[in-house]
Amino acid sequence: MGHIDKGKLLFTGGVFLALALYPLVAESYGIDLVTKIMIYAILALSLELLVGSTGLVCFGQAAFFGIGAYAAVLLSPESEAAGWWWLLPASVAAAALYALFVGALSLRTKGVYFIMVTLAFAQMAYYVVHDTPLGGGTDGIYLYFKPGLDTLVDLGNPYILYFFTLVFLVWTFVFLAILLRSHFGRVLAGIRINEQRMQASGFSTYPFKLAAFVTSGGIAGLAGFLFAVQDGFVNPEMMSWHLSGALLVMIILGGLGHLHGALIGAFVFVFLQELFKSEAVFGDFAKHWHLGLGLTIIACVALLPRGLVGLPEMLHQRLFGFSQRAKGKANGKLPDNTATEEAV
């Protein structure tokens, strides 16, 4: 067993506990907003698996998200509610299948070429739903009956959808945490640090990268399903490169290489978005919310190069003159090879 950071464990558990208790004091707007944030957190975790844990900068994550959402709407009957128990796996499978196709081809490239190929495949999916009747064109398509209507798990109920989303957020986090601490996760960490050395050690890195890519696409499809159920509507903008860029900002803002960093980044990013859009707070400047959001993110990245997860350690170093991590290593409490453990 590797070293477990109790501070991170307590923080993550506290976040999930706070989310579980939040509906006791929240109004309907708050429930809808936090549900949306949790969906984006699942999506950010899917990208963290690629970028932070494997070193694959994917600029097409929005395509898998959109395919999961479109699959949920297109597979739903127009006359009755579909069962979520089969619609959700179908949406995940559709996204994972496209990820398998994209990954099988794009992973043969590296660096900036990989980024551009994933962007090209994402734009291809975008224009398929944008320019054909399949996805309703620019008008999008509606989900007339939300899954599980008139059943115990009625996803048309905002409170049930909230806890349904929370369950899958916790599941996604725990699943990825276990995955990254397994042999598979350690291979991914090795690929991120030095792929050539892993190949020289006898590892065929391509299957590992492809498996990570497909897993990431499936989780993004899960987030897409939840988004379609919450909004009851999908349109091509869900697959836009703007969303893929926003996801990269989320995980960089939170802190690359940390699962809880993806959680923090998603929550902070959406919170800042809503804050700068608020006319009650910023008045007429709210029309230019992109400017305020951009300047704030630039300041965060400049002042916190390790992301928001590095803030406690930076403050500790400023106050006491050394980092907690350095102290732990000096006392023999932290192993030197903590690349996989840090990812959690």
What is the band of 72 on the pLDDT scale with cuts at 50, 70, 90?
Answer: very high
Q: What angle do CA 73, 272, 291 make, to 5 degrees?
A: 105
Q: What is the rounded distance in angstroms from the CA atom of residue 55 to the CA atom of residue 160?
A: 36
Question: Which of 53-67, 135-149, 319-333 reaches the highest mean pLDDT?
Answer: 53-67
Please say whether the beta carbons of 297 and 250 come within 8 A. Answer: no
Helix (H) or strand (E) holding 209: helix 205-231
pTM metric for this prediction: 0.93
CA 38-42-46 angle, 5° bins: 160
Instruction: Note the pLDDT tens digit of each residue in 13-29.
Output: 999 999 999 999 999 99
Residue 336: pLDDT band with limits 50, 70, 90? very low
Q: What is the pLDDT of residue 1?
A: 44
pLDDT, tens digit (0-9, with 9 covering 90-100), for 80-111? 888 899 999 999 999 999 999 999 999 999 99
What pLDDT shows up at residue 199? Answer: 94
Angstrom distance (rounded) from CA 318 to CA 170: 33
